[in-house]
Structure formats: C-alpha cells, structure tokens
C-alpha cells in the first residue's frame, strides 16, 4: 500500500515538473497503468492481509478500487479529448488533482481505522476542489469555496462523532474491529449522537441528505470527465466510509434507532431528487440529482436491513458503472452543443446515434427498467420492506420512485428526440466514437449484471455484509 502511495506521489511530482502537454499525458498514463497493475497483480493475492497496522486489503475496498481503476482510466482518456485547449498550467493542475483524488480514495477504501479514513476523506476535499475550480471563472470559484467550506464543516461534524465513539474504545484504539467489539457497552445517548454526526458529516461525500447540495454544485462546475469521477469514485469513498461505521452500529444497542434515521434520510433524499430532477434546466445538474436519488435509495436499503444491505451494496456498484458512462456521454453532448442547458439542445440522436443509444440505455438503467441491475437491487429493497411489514414505507417509496421515473424519462427523451426551437449554433461536431463506445460499454456492463449476476460477485458481496 505504501509503495503504491509513494509511486503515485512520485508520478504526481514528475507531472508537476513537466514542460509539455505530451509529457503530462505520458506520466499520467503511467500512473493509471500502475493503478491497474496494483488492482490486478497485488490486491487479489493479498485479500485479508493487514499492512502497516492501518490498512487492510479486504473485499469491500477491493471491489471499489477495481471500479475506480476502470472509471478513472476512462476519465483520463476523455480528459485528453475534452481539454484540448487548456494551458499547460491548467492541464497539469487538472491531472494532478485527478490523480491525487484517486490516491486519496484508495486510502479511504483500504483504511481499517476510522481516524485514518477521516484523514484520507478530508484529503479528497482538497483534490476535488482543484477539479471544481478548473475553469477559473466566477461560477467555478463560487462552487469551489462552497465545496471547501461545506465539506470541511461536514468532515468536522463527522470528527465530533468519531471523538464520541472513541469513548467506548478499549485502549483508545480506533480500528473498526475494536469499535465493533466494544461498542455494545457504550452509552446509548453518546452512540446516537456519534452515529448521527457521522451520517451528517459523511453525507457531503455520499451525496445524500442533508449535505447533498455541495456534491451537486461540484458536478455542475467541474469538467464533465471529472464529474464522472466525482459522482462515482468520490461518492463510493463516502459510501465505503459510512458502510464501515454502519457495521459498527449494527453491533451497538442503538442499531434499531439508527435504522429509522437512515430510512428518514433516504426518503428525504429521494424526495429532493424527484423535485429537482423536474426543476433543473442543466443536464449535468440533472445527472447529479440522479446520484442523490440512487444513493438515497441505498441508504434506505441499509435502514431496512436484511437483504436490503446486499441490495444497497449492489446498487452502489451498479450506479458507479452507469453514472460514469452517462457522464462520458454527457461530455460528448457538451462538446457538440457547447452547453448543457436543456431548453437549448435536443435531437441528439440525429447527431450521434451511438451516443444517443447509450443515453437511452443509461436512462433506462438508472430508472431500474429491466434488464438493469438497479431493477434487481430495488426489488430486493422493496421485498425487504414488505417482509418487515412497513407498508407505509412501501407506499412512499413507490410514489417517490414513480415521480423520479417521470422526471427522468421526459428529460432524456427530450435530449435524444425532441427538436428545440431557436437552438444554439453547434460550435463543433467533434465526436470521439471510441469514447462513445467506452461509455456505452460501461452502461451495458451494468445491464449484463442485471441479467446474470456472476457467482463471484454475489460471493464477494455476501462476504462483505457478513457481520
């Protein structure tokens, strides 16, 4: 782990010293090759091993690290096409921020200590801020300061929760294993406050209620390839951080109370997403609010427990594939039309048929239409709701999901088929078919998971939720 981190930081240093765009691309490509090598040649053979006391190569981290490897590599390739007119300084800072975000997320994925997780999660704030401020205009400056301030506030709130959890530890050790062993003897009031603070703090990374707004603004201001990473790799880092705390909460005397809090937070996230999916006039914000909806439903799955925990994990994995593919396609849309405003663009199927097919398939997947894997995960959650006898929750979820479906369908269909009156002139018809197919394959991969769930994936998820 430390060797990977040191090599990554060394490559970042070489990128910072590069004097040409081509040199930046070469070193950045080498980083993603190192990352892929770490995913293929190191992690599979070290599952279960502990390194330097603070990191464990477990299945939870491995699953999301492999997802990050695929998504970040596609984002890097697209960035070279998307950012073709940047100055050398901008290009270097963008690639450095993107690589450091992946490095920080790696630390989050494999940290076995809640304090170490907190440190790496805070590091992702600074890396993401570099991506959000890339355009260096008034809008990006405002979004950057908002992101730094609100994320720092959220992480500080989470730190207060960690301090309260430390009161129940033996010998002051903050490893998740030690917390799970000792949390049963903790003061219920302190535990409730601690878990609530951690949920609120980590919500800025998971993009769920209450601090979901900052993730939406970050996706809106950042370049589209970076948004593909922010809405998946970073959101997954937030989910992994929270899921490890959730496993600790499951061993505590306040687990039932905390489950109710999670259901409430998930329902509010679904409601907010449904409303703003209909109201927003920007396709990047639209996809960002879709993330709020998907992650809100995952939090509901954790709240209802049982098979809902399996479904929540499957939902997050599938969302990463689908959403990254959607942002890849949306970057192509922005390149063609020069804008993401809904009322100024349309008829995309006549411009890029393959890209339009990818958007339609991605839209169907996010709406959980068969064969989407999200259909499988959502059915699992609804089944667990029925088995638990929460009929009121079933009715609320059905109504909210129907509202989300209506909002999503109308916007995606309009982009692909509906001509727009007085459209903006298209500044470019430059369409990268290779990237279009990459995005389509990411989305299609999630659809394949909806038809056939590989036995190894089911085995891995079952191993992760066995607590």
Q: CA torsion 31→33→39→40, rounded to 10°?
A: -160
pLDDT 10s digit of each residue in the chain, 467 long?
A: 778 889 999 999 999 999 899 999 999 999 999 999 999 887 888 888 888 889 999 999 999 999 999 999 999 988 888 777 788 999 999 999 999 999 999 999 999 999 999 999 999 999 999 999 988 888 888 899 999 999 999 999 999 999 998 887 766 688 999 999 888 888 899 999 999 999 999 999 999 999 998 899 999 899 988 999 999 999 999 999 999 999 999 999 999 999 999 999 999 999 999 888 888 888 999 999 999 999 999 999 999 999 999 999 999 999 999 999 999 888 888 888 888 888 888 888 888 888 888 888 888 888 888 888 899 999 999 999 999 888 899 999 988 888 888 777 777 888 888 776 555 555 445 677 777 888 888 888 888 888 888 888 899 999 999 87
Using CA atoms, how far apart are residues 192 and 169, in angstroms rounded to an integer? 16
Q: Find the largest Cα–Cα distance for the chain.
A: 68
Using CA atoms, how far apart are residues 416 and 365, in angstroms rounded to an integer? 16
Q: CA torsion 397→400→402→407, rounded to 10°?
A: -150
- CB count within 10 Å of CB 159 equals 17
The reported pTM is 0.94
Q: How far apart are the first and last CA of the chain?
A: 25
């Amino acid at each position: 782990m430390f060797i990977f981190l040191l090599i990554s930081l060394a490559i970042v240093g070489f990128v910072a010293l590069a004097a040409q765009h081509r040199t930046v691309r070469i070193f950045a490509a080498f980083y993603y090759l190192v990352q892929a090598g770490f995913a293929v040649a190191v992690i599979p053979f070290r599952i279960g091993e502990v390194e330097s006391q603070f990191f464990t190569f477990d299945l939870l981290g491995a699953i999301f690290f492999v997802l990050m490897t695929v998504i970040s590599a596609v984002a890097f390739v697209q960035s070279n096409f998307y950012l073709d007119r940047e100055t050398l300084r901008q290009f270097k800072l963008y690639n450095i921020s993107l690589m450091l975000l992946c490095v920080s997320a790696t630390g989050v994925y494999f940290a076995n200590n809640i304090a170490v997780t907190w440190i790496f999660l805070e590091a992702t704030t600074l890396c993401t801020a570099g991506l959000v401020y890339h355009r260096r205009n008034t809008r990006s400056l405002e979004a950057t300061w908002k992101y730094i301030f609100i994320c720092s506030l959220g992480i500080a709130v989470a730190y207060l929760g960690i301090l309260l959890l430390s009161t129940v530890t033996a010998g002051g050790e903050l490893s998740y294993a030690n917390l799970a062993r000792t949390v049963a003897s903790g003061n219920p009031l302190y535990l409730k406050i601690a878990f609530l603070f951690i949920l609120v703090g980590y919500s800025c990374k998971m993009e769920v209620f209450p601090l979901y707004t900052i993730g939406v603004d970050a996706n809106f201001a950042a370049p589209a390839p970076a948004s593909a990473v922010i809405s998946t790799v970073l959101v997954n880092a937030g989910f992994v951080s929270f899921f490890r705390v959730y496993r600790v909460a499951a061993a505590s005397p306040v687990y039932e109370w905390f489950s109710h809090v999670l259901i409430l937070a998930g329902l509010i996230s679904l409601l907010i997403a449904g409303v703003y999916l209909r109201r927003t006039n920007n396709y990047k914000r639209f996809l960002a609010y879709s993330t709020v909806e998907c992650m809100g439903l995952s939090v509901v799955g954790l709240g209802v427990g049982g098979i809902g925990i399996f479904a929540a994990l499957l939902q997050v994995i599938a969302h990463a594939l689908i959403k990254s593919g959607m942002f890849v396609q949306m970057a192509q849309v922005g390149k063609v039309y020069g804008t993401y405003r809904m009322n100024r663009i349309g008829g995309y199927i006549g411009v890029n048929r393959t890209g339009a097919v990818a958007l339609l398939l991605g839209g169907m997947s996010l709406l959980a239409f068969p064969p989407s894997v999200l259909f499988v995960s959502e059915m699992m959650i609804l089944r667990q709701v029925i088995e638990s006898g929460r009929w009121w929750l079933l009715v609320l979820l059905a109504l909210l999901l129907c509202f989300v479906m209506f909002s999503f369908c109308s916007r995606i269909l309009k982009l692909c088929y509906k001509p727009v009156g007085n459209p903006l002139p298209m500044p470019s018809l430059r369409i990268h078919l290779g990237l279009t197919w990459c995005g389509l394959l990411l989305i299609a991969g999630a659809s394949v998971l909806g038809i056939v769930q590989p036995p190894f994936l089911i085995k891995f998820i079952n191993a992760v939720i066995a607590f």
